[in-house]
Amino acid sequence: MGKLVFGMMQSLDGYVAGFPGGPQLPPPGVALHRYFNDHVRALAGSLYGRRIYEVMRYWDEDRPEWGAVERDFAAVWRAQPKWVASRSLKAVGANAILIADNLEAFARRLKEEVDGEIDVAGPDLAGCLSDLGLIDEYHLYLRPFVLGAGKPYFAGARPPLRHVASETVGEDAVRLTYVPA
């Protein structure tokens, strides 16, 4: 059986991204990037919201400025099964399936048919799935930065959660793991 896990890096004040033109989280250092490379490599797949999927399409084509850790992530990301929830997209890239309607039924079927951890990417999508009671775990990767405003980790009211684990990852992050209470 699959497990839906929502995890994203965030600032200490709870934002996954700042407003355009404002402060942003800096890219991860090499150790944190390697952590995420290995994490993504172990996933059964990723369920994306439209906005974060469009951001992640950055990894579709090699870039000359990339080092080995970025090239490794791109290869892992490209090979991973992806499901994209969007009513506005008409097509998605390689190794991706578009989910245009009935997200709840699709997510329930995904949990039944896919073995392993399925990453949920995007606060709005995670909020919708949380409201449906479908998120099994929340991974908050706190980094020592303050953005002051922007896109929050929780798109709506924070669901009741119970802390189950903490660990230091990479150069500057702490992963907090919560399950629905």
Question: Mind listing the domains of the chain with CATH numbers?
Answer: 2-180 (3.40.430.10)
Closest CA to 50 of 84, 18, 7: 84
Neighbours of 39 (CB within 10 A): 17
Residue 25, both tokens: 């989280």
What pLDDT sits at residue 7?
Answer: 97
Tens-binned pLDDT, residue by residue, of the chain (181 aa): 999 999 999 999 999 999 999 999 999 999 999 999 999 999 999 999 999 999 999 999 999 999 999 999 999 999 999 999 999 999 999 999 999 999 999 999 999 999 999 999 999 999 999 999 999 999 999 999 999 999 999 998 899 999 999 999 999 999 999 999 9
Burial of 28 (0-12, 13-18, 19+ CB in 10 A): buried
> Which bin fits 173, alpha (ψ -120 to 50), beta or left (φ > 0)?
beta
Return contacts of 67-70, CB within 8 angstroms, 24+ apart: 69/30, 69/33, 69/34, 69/37, 70/33
CB 177 within 8 Å of CB 163 = yes
CB 147 within 8 Å of CB 13 = yes
CB 12 within 8 Å of CB 144 = yes
Residue 163, both tokens: 């802390």
